[in-house]
Amino acid sequence: MYSTTNNQRDTYKLVETLISGKFKNKLSLLKSLVKDIVKTPEFGIVSGRVWELNTRDLTYVLQFQHGAAQKIPANYTIKIEEQPVLGKLSEERTILNYETDELLIEKGIQLFSAIGVGELVKIKSGKHYEYVIGFSAPEIKQAFYETLNIISSVSTVALKNLSDQAAHSKIKKDIFRASEIQKNLFPDHAISFHDYDVFGVCIPDSEVGGDYFDYLKSTDEEEERLGIVISDASSKGLPAAVQSLFLSGALKMGMGFAAKISSIFSRLNNLIYDTFFYERFVTLFYCDLTMSSNHLVLYANAGHCSPIHYCPSKDRFRMLDPTGGFLGIMPNQKYKLENTFMLVGDVMVLYTDGITEAQDADGNLFGEERVKEIVKKYHKSPANIITYAILEEVENYSANSVYNDDKTLVVIKRREES
C-alpha cells in the first residue's frame, strides 16, 4: 500500500531534482520531470505529456510524450476553445478530468490529471500557463493529485530560474562583447614620437569601465604633432563604457577636421549634455606633443585629475590644473588652452582618480604625493618602467581595500635623442 511517508519521500526527490538539476532549457526540465514521475511505480502513472502554449493559434502543441500509452502524432494540437477545462488551470493550477479529445481517447487516454507550469500568459480566451503537463492512468490516486500541486509550484519556480539564468548568461555575453569592443578602442601601450617616449595602461575594475585613453596622430601636414587623451566617465560599468565609446568617436571625428582643441572641447561638452541625461559628466584631459624647437606642449583640461609634470633639471613639479569644467555638466561651457614645456628628461603623468583615490584597508587615499615620489625615484627610467612602478605601488597599497575603481595611467617621457 502506498503510504503518506512514501508519497512525501518521492515528492521530495522530485523537488530536489527540479531545484538542483542542470537543464539546458525549459523543455529539457519538463521532459525530465515527466520521465521521473512515470518511472516512479508508487505514483501509478502510465504516461505523461508536455504541451506548450501557442499564443498565435490559441492552441497547446504537443512537445513531448513518454510512457506506455499509444504514441500521439508529433506536434499534435489541442484548441483551447474546445477544451474548457484548460481555462480552470489559471485558477486551480491542477485539474482531474476525463479526456474529451477523440484522438487522445483513441490512443487510450481516459482519465488524466494536468498541471499548469511556467508563466501565466494573457490571450483572448483568458490567462493560460506557458506549459501544461498531463498524466494519465487507470486511476489517479489522491496522494498523487496532491503531489501535483507541489510539483506545479516548484516547476514554475525552476522554470523562472532557468529564464533568469538564460537572461543573465545573455547579459554576460553582451558585456563580454562590449568589453572586447572597448579593448579595441585602446591603442597599443607604447608609442614613440621623435624624442618622446609614451606608455599607457587601462585596468577596468570590471569587464567594462568608464576610463579611456588614446593617441591621436595629427592629420595636419603643416605641423606634425601627437595628441594624447585621457578621460573618466562619471558613471560605472556599462553606461560608463557607452560614454567612453561615444567620446572616442566624437573626439576622433573632431580631430579629423583639425579644429582647435578649445573648440572641440566646447562641442564635446554640448554633445554629452544633449545625449546623456542621467550619467552626464565626463572628465577629459588632452595634450598635443609638438615638434617646436622649445618642445611646447599644448593642453586643455575639462575637470580631470591634474596631470603631474616633473622637471628633474629644476627638481620641480607642476600640476596641469583644469582649464574648464566637467564635460556635460552644463551647456555652452568655454575651455582655455594652456601650455607647458618639456625639457630633456622631463616626465609627465596622466592618470584617472582610480590611481590617486586608491585606498588602503583603513580608507586612506594613495594621493598625489606618493605618485610624485615614485616619479622622482624612477624619472631616469623609460616610460613603461615608470608606469608599472606606479601601478605596482597602487596595487600593493589597495590590496586589502573593499573599494576599487578603474585605473588608467599614461606616462610621457622626453628622452635624449640618440
Question: At which of 112, 130, 164 does a domain end?
Answer: 164
Domain extent at residue 39: 4-164
- Res 283 pLDDT > 80: yes
The whole-number average pLDDT for the span 152-165 is 77
Of 27, 49, 29, which Cα lies nearest the Cα of 38? 49
Please check whether residues 158 and 183 belong to one and the same domain: no
Cell numbers representing residue 176 in the block? 563580454
Identify whether 253 is part of a domain.
yes
102-116, 306-320, 401-415, range with greatest mean pLDDT: 306-320
- Res 6 pLDDT > 90: no
Please check whether residues 202 and 110 belong to one and the same domain: no
- Res 95 pLDDT > 70: yes
Identify whether 170 is part of a domain.
no
CATH of residue 379's domain is 3.60.40.10
CATH of residue 46's domain is 3.30.450.40
Given this model, what pLDDT does residue 387 score? 95
**Number of DSSP helices (H) and strands (E) in the chain, helices first:** 10, 17
Is residue 2 very low, low, confident or very high in pLDDT (cuts 50, 70, 90)?
A: very low
- Res 11 pLDDT > 60: yes
Residue 84 near residue 125 (C-beta atoms within 8 A):
no
Cα separation, 305 vs 331, in Å, equals 21
Q: How many Cβ atoms from other residues are within 10 Å of residue 240's Cβ? A: 24
Number of domains within the chain? 2
Cα separation, 405 vs 388, in Å, equals 17
Model confidence pLDDT, tens digit, residues 174-228: 556 655 655 555 667 889 888 899 999 888 776 556 788 889 876 555 567 888 9
The mean-pLDDT minimum among 8-17, 56-65, 337-346, 365-374 falls in: 8-17
Please check whether residues 225 and 361 belong to one and the same domain: yes
Identify whether 105 is part of a domain.
yes
The mean-pLDDT minimum among 17-31, 86-100, 191-205 falls in: 17-31
Of 73, 349, 345, which Cα lies nearest the Cα of 196? 345
Please check whether residues 123 and 198 belong to one and the same domain: no
Cell numbers representing residue 415 in the block? 628622452
Please check whether residues 241 and 288 belong to one and the same domain: yes
Please check whether residues 31 and 150 belong to one and the same domain: yes
Q: What integer best gives the mean pLDDT of the chain?
A: 83
Q: How many Cβ atoms from other residues are within 10 Å of residue 289's Cβ? A: 26
Please check whether residues 41 and 62 belong to one and the same domain: yes
The mean-pLDDT minimum among 4-8, 22-26, 188-192, 325-329 falls in: 4-8
60-69, 222-231, 397-406, range with greatest mean pLDDT: 60-69
- Res 380 pLDDT > 90: yes
Please check whether residues 21 and 85 belong to one and the same domain: yes
Identify whether 75 is part of a domain.
yes
Please check whether residues 273 and 407 belong to one and the same domain: yes
Question: At which of 108, 139, 164 does a domain end?
Answer: 164
Identify whether 299 is part of a domain.
yes
The whole-number average pLDDT for the span 133-148 is 83
- Res 1 pLDDT > 70: no
Identify whether 169 is part of a domain.
no
Looking only at the bridges linking them, the beta strands covering 308-311 and 347-351 are antiparallel
Please check whether residues 136 and 188 belong to one and the same domain: no
